[in-house]
């Protein structure tokens, strides 16, 4: 009797485990309190300091340091609760295409913005 009960409970665990293991669509992780609006993105210009960009935009999603300076990138997703507002993604998207919202800043060794481009 114990063997049958053990076999039945083992089979039940396998069946329920297999049914619940289907791939779940994960939602993007966001940087908390990092909403940005288009008006804030327009505050940054070439010639500004890196510290101003980080103060306005927050911590970059992706940063690459080179001998000539740094490349800072912020990736966004539109919010549903405010027009022209975007949430900053915590990680760089696996696929970047024409619909991806981003801000890219190239900074020289002295911390001065040499190139600023965005698509929101």
pLDDT in tens, 102-112: 999 999 999 99
Q: Quick check: is 4 in a domain?
A: no
Instruction: Look at residues 102, 17, 24 and name the one whose alpha carbon lies nearest to residue 57.
Output: 102
Number of structural domains (the chain) is 1
Q: Quick check: is 19 in a domain?
A: no
Q: Quick check: is 61 in a domain?
A: yes
Q: Quick check: is 57 in a domain?
A: yes
pLDDT at 35: 81
Q: Quick check: is 51 in a domain?
A: yes
Q: Calculate the dihedral angle through the C-alpha atoms of 42, 46, 49, 51, rounding to the nearest 10 degrees.
A: 40
Helix or strand (DSSP H, E) at 55: helix 50-57
pLDDT at 22: 57
Q: Quick check: is 103 in a domain?
A: yes
pLDDT at 95: 86
pLDDT in tens, 21-69: 555 555 678 877 778 888 888 999 999 999 999 999 999 999 999 899 9
Q: Quick check: is 94 in a domain?
A: yes
- In angstroms, the CA 74 to CA 40 distance is 13
> Residue 55's domain spans which residues?
47-119
Q: Quick check: is 81 in a domain?
A: yes
């Amino acid at each position: 009797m114990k063997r049958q009960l053990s076999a039945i409970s083992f089979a039940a665990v396998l069946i329920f485990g297999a049914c619940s293991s289907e791939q779940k669509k994960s939602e993007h992780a966001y940087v908390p309190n990092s909403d940005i609006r288009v008006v804030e993105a327009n505050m940054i210009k070439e010639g500004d300091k890196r510290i101003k960009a980080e103060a306005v935009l927050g911590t970059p999603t992706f940063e690459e340091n080179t001998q000539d300076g740094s490349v800072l990138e912020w990736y966004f997703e539109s919010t549903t609760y405010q027009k022209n507002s975007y949430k900053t993604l915590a990680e760089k998207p696996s696929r970047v295409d024409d619909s991806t919202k981003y801000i890219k800043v190239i900074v020289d060794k002295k911390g001065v913005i040499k190139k600023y481009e965005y698509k929101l």
